[in-house]
Amino acid sequence: MLVKAAVLREPQAPYTIEDVELDEPGPGQVRVRIVGAGICHTDVVPRGVSLSPLPIVTGHEGSGVVDAVGEGVEGIAAGDHVVLTFDSCGECEQCRENHPAYCETFLMRNLVGRELDGTTCMHDAGGEEVSARWFGQSSFATFAIANARNTVVVDKDLPLDKLGPLGCGILTGAGSIVSAMDVQPGRSLVVTGAGAVGLAAIMAAKVIGANPIIAVDLHESRLELAKELGATHTVNGAGDVTAEVLAITGAGAHYAFDTTGVPAVIQTALASLRMSGVLGLVGVQQGEVVLDGFTQLGKTIMTIFEGDVVPQEMIPKLIGWWRNGEFPFDRLIETFPFDQINEAEEASLSGRVVKPVLLF
C-alpha cells in the first residue's frame, strides 16, 4: 500500500516526507496505522556510525491502531489499539528466561532497519529499497509493519496519541529502576541526566518508595521539573556533585543511574555511591571511562538495555500507575505535526523539549 514516511537519505540531511510503498504484513506480523510516535535520541544513531543502510525510516516509539494482521498472529486483531516496542526473537535462552532486551539477535533486529535476511518491506517511488524495520517498526510513517512480539495491545479508552514513548524511552527509565536495578523502598538513588529517561526513572523511584531521590542536571528548569515529579533533592551538575550527594546521604547513595553517557558524569556517579552500591548505565557511551580501584571498590556497574523488562508486562504496569495519578509521563510530552519532524528532532537534541511526539 502507498503510505507517507519520513525518509533519511544522508547522515546530515533533514528527513524528507515521501510517498513510499509498504508491503502487506507477513507471517507473524501486523500492520499499524500510526497515531503518534515519540522521538528518542537513539533515532539519531543512523546519522553517525551505524549498521543501518540508508535510506532509512527510523522511529521506534510508535502507537496506533492495527490495520491488518498476517498469518499466524494470535491475540492481536484489526482495530486493536497498540504500543510498539523493541523487537526480540522469543526463542533464544535470554527471551525464554524473560530477558528479551538481551535477545541474542537484539542488535540485528533493532539497530539495522532490515529483516534478519537483509530484506525490507518498503520501497520508494523509484523502486529503491528503504530500510523500514528500525526497532522492528520504523514508526516515522503513516503505517508501519511490526512483529506481533513487539506489539502491545492497550485499552481503547487511553490517549493513544501519547502512549508511544512507553515503548522505549519511558520504558527504559522506569524499567531500569524497578527491574534491572531492583531499587528497594527506602534506599537512596542518584539520577544523572533529567531528560525523558532520567525523569521516568525518578517517577518510578517515587512510586516504589525510594528515598532520597537525587536528580542531577545542568539545567535548572529540568531540575525543577524533576522535583515536581518525585525528586527529593536536586544538584546542579556544574558543582561538586559527589560532595553534595555525600552530604545528603551520609555514606553515599545505594544506587546511581546515568542517562548521559558522558564519561566524566559516569565517574562522578560512581564516586557518589557507597560500597556495595549499584550503578546502572543506559544510552550511548560518549567515550572511554577510566576506572580506578579505589573509586570502584565494592561497587557494581551494570549496562542496561530497555530496562531489562518484558514490555507486555511493564507497559500495562506503567499505564496503571498513570491511571492512578502516580506516573504523569504525559507531562514530558510536547506534540508536533508529522510534517514538522525536523523541527521536533531539533527540539529534542537541543533539550528544549523533553519528549517530542509526532502526531499523524
pLDDT digits (tens, 9 = 90+) for 145-168: 999 999 999 999 999 999 999 999
Q: What is the CA 325 to chain-centroid distance, rounded?
A: 21
Measure the CA–CA gap between 227 and 217, rounded to whole angstroms.
12
Residue 85 has a pLDDT of 98
Overall pTM surpassing 0.75 (yes/no): yes
pLDDT less than 70: residues of the chain: none
Which grid coordinates belong to 183?
531499587
Contacts 24+ apart (CB under 8 A), 89-94: 89/149, 90/149
Q: How many CB atoms lie within 10 A of CB 108?
A: 17
Q: Which of 150, 152, 198 is nearest to 177 (CA)?
A: 198
Measure the CA–CA gap between 205 and 185, rounded to whole angstroms.
8
Residue 283 has a pLDDT of 75
Residue 198 has a pLDDT of 98
Instruction: Give the pairing of strands 189-192 and 253-258.
Output: parallel
Virtual CA dihedral for 265, 59, 85, 177, nearest 10 degrees?
Answer: 20
Contact 125/58 with Cβ under 8 angstroms? Answer: no
**Ordered structural domains, the chain, with CATH:** 2-167+328-359 (3.90.180.10), 173-304 (3.40.50.720)
Q: What is the pLDDT of residues 241-253, one digit of tens each?
A: 999 999 999 999 9
Measure the CA–CA gap between 272 and 293, rounded to whole angstroms.
15
Residue 319 has a pLDDT of 98
